[in-house]
């Protein structure tokens, strides 16, 4: 596994999502009640950044056509989306959030 620092814990308050980048990959980093998850930031339906979307109950709503994804699994749940999001393993080390980019 190749772990890369992506953000500081304090940069992503609980209940929010932050746009990040690892190498050339846009990543959405979510803090669900102090548990962190990461998915690809680009919607699988068209070109919209999920980090600009609406996060509630562990689901992110795409800002463009309101497609809904589970941020824990990347699963496409409803709306015009039918392709799941790529997800990345996350771990915390000190005050840094690391993402596995393999």
Q: Which residues of this chain interact with ligand FES, rule CB under 6 A?
A: 43, 45-46, 48, 62, 64-65, 67, 79-81
| Nearest distance from C-beta of residue 29 to ligand FES, angstroms | 18
* β-sheet with 59-61: strand ranges across: 54-56, 59-61, 68-70, 76-78
For residue 64, give both structure tokens: 């463009």
CB nearer ligand FES, residue 67 or residue 74: 67
In the bound complex, what is the minimum distance in angstroms from residue 46's beta carbon to ligand FES?
A: 4
Tokens of 61: 């709503």
Q: Judged by CB, which is closer to ligand FES: 19, or 64?
A: 64
Phi and psi at residue 56, in whole multiples of 5°?
-155, 135
């Amino acid at each position: 596994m190749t772990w890369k620092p992506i953000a500081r814990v304090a940069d992503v308050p609980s209940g929010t999502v932050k746009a990040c980048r690892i190498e050339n990959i846009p990543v959405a980093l979510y803090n669900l009640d102090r548990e962190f998850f990461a998915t690809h930031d680009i919607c699988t339906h068209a070109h919209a950044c999920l980090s600009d979307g609406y996060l509630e109950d562990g689901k992110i709503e795409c800002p463009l056509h309101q497609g809904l994804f589970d941020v824990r699994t990347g699963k496409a749940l409803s709306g015009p989306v039918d392709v799941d999001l790529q997800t990345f393993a996350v771990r915390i080390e000190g005050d840094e959030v690391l993402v596995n980019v393999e």
